[in-house]
Amino acid sequence: MSRLIVNADDFGLTSGVNRAILELHQSGLLTSATLMARAAATDEAIEMAKSTPSLGVGCHVVLVDGEPILSGIRDVPNVADPAYGRFERSLGSFLNTIYSRGVSRKVDYQIEIETRAQIQSLQQRGVTLTHIDTHKHTHMFPRVLRPVLRAARSCGIRAVRNPFEPAWSVRATPNAPLTRRIQVDLLRLLTARFRRIVAEEGFTTTAGALGVLATGTLDAPTVRSLAAAIPTDANQTFELVTHPGYDDADLARANTRLLASRETEREALAALHGMPDLELISFAKLTGN
């Protein structure tokens, strides 16, 4: 029997996102969530996490499209925009910055200390963290992965999302835009290097992430298609990456590209009810905790 971690990203983004995550967990459909250390509803999410120990909670490390815990101008000027002290808005701008000539050691160090600050800010407020992942999957790139893992290890965390989607899962995702399908296929070329670094750093991860291609288009038929395609005889663990929420005024102010789709994803997870030969777990069980 294969195991599935159903994880909701962006815990703490808005109260509507928080409410959706808690409701889905209480319904037995969602096992895990990753918490943003600095977002509009982080305080509320922290209290929810502490009062719901059955929900596995990781740190959703934000290095793009957000605000650092440390001073963006003083402490992480090669990662954040030095003019405003915030992270770059787009993944493309972020990658252009961190791979620029002459800043590699500075970037490595600054990613590590900012990641550590985000993790510790949650731990110091009483949240037990099961794993880490990153906003917009920035840790799929080696320049980000190593310092993120070093920071996590120094905080006692040894599990990380595998952000790469298996080929069978891509085939089971019918309605994704062609451009995103090409992007996911190209990024899969980084898989072998990701696995090597994760092993070298002593971390545990899954066999792959489902739903990455379907981000923004994840609906009930896609959830059913993905769940039915999971190889049940492989004794592997996969992660279903989701972004549920309520489409409200707070979400509109959050300036996220995932607006109405969060409602669709929240409703789509009901398709997991009664799926045979599938054990729903959190990252805590993946690491034996």
Q: The domain 2-286 is classified under which CATH number: 3.20.20.370, 3.40.190.10, 3.40.309.10, 3.20.20.70? A: 3.20.20.370
- Give the residue with greater pLDDT, 242 vs 263: 242
Q: What is the pLDDT of residue 202?
A: 96
Q: Which residues of 130-164 are buried (b: 16+ CB within 10 A; e: fewer)?
A: bbbbbbbbbbbbebbbbbbbebbeebebbbbbbbb
The per-residue pLDDT of the chain, averaged, comes to: 91
CA 289, CA 283: separation in Å to the nearest integer?
Answer: 9
Q: What is the pLDDT of residue 260?
A: 63
What are the angstrom distances between the C-alpha of 175 and each of 110, 137, 149, 218?
A: 38, 21, 34, 9
Mean pLDDT, rounded, for 14-20:
94
pLDDT tens digits, one per residue of 248-258:
767 666 566 55
pLDDT tens digits, one per residue of 148-199:
999 999 999 999 999 999 999 999 998 888 999 999 999 999 999 999 999 9
- Give the residue with greater pLDDT, 177 vs 260: 177
Q: What is the pLDDT of residue 258?
A: 56
Q: Is the pLDDT of residue 287 over 90?
A: no
Judging by beta carbons within 10 Å of its beta carbon (0-12, 13-18, 19+), is residue 120 exposed, middle or buried?
Answer: middle
Q: What is the pLDDT of residue 284?
A: 93
The DSSP symbol for 254 reads T
Q: What is the pLDDT of residue 262?
A: 80
pLDDT tens digits, one per residue of 23-65:
999 999 999 999 999 999 999 999 999 999 999 999 999 999 9
Q: What is the pLDDT of residue 31?
A: 97
Q: Is the pLDDT of residue 143 over 80?
A: yes
Mean pLDDT, rounded, for 66-76:
91
Mean pLDDT, rounded, for 204-231:
93
Q: What is the pLDDT of residue 275?
A: 73
